Amino acid sequence: QVARPADTGELVTIVQAAGSSSRISDATIEVLNTQDALVATLTPDSTGRATQELKQGVYVVRVSHPRYAAEARRIQVVPRQTTEIRANLRAGTSSPVERAVNSGVSAVKKALKF
């Protein structure tokens, strides 16, 4: 057990594909404070796991990947404790441009009865 400062805790994020046990190692994990300021950007290791020491408080953890829909969670970091979250990413896209294009293509297909 590593000694932690009295006002910090550890965040452990595990990223996997929804409905399977496949871990996603090339996702981007962003940790933001309650004012939406970026606190940390993490990349999971080969097991889909990333850790970060954080000061106590409330954060938003946003996990994204180009081939999956993004997921965001609000968490509370407690001093000298580990907060673990599992992000189960679903097929889709995190890119707003790609979502807009796909949405437009769907509308055209529907209008033209494809």
Confirm if 54 and 8 have CB atoms less than 8 A apart: yes
pTM of structure? 0.77
Confirm if 52 and 33 have CB atoms less than 8 A apart: no
Tokens linked to 86: 């599992």
Tokens linked to 57: 């408080």
C-alpha to C-alpha distance for 29 and 89, rounded to whole angstroms: 12
C-alpha to C-alpha distance for 107 and 65, rounded to whole angstroms: 25
Task: Render each residue's pLDDT in the chain as its tens digit; 114 residues.
Answer: 556 678 999 999 999 999 888 999 999 999 999 999 999 999 999 999 999 999 999 999 999 999 999 999 999 999 999 999 999 999 876 555 555 555 555 566 566 665
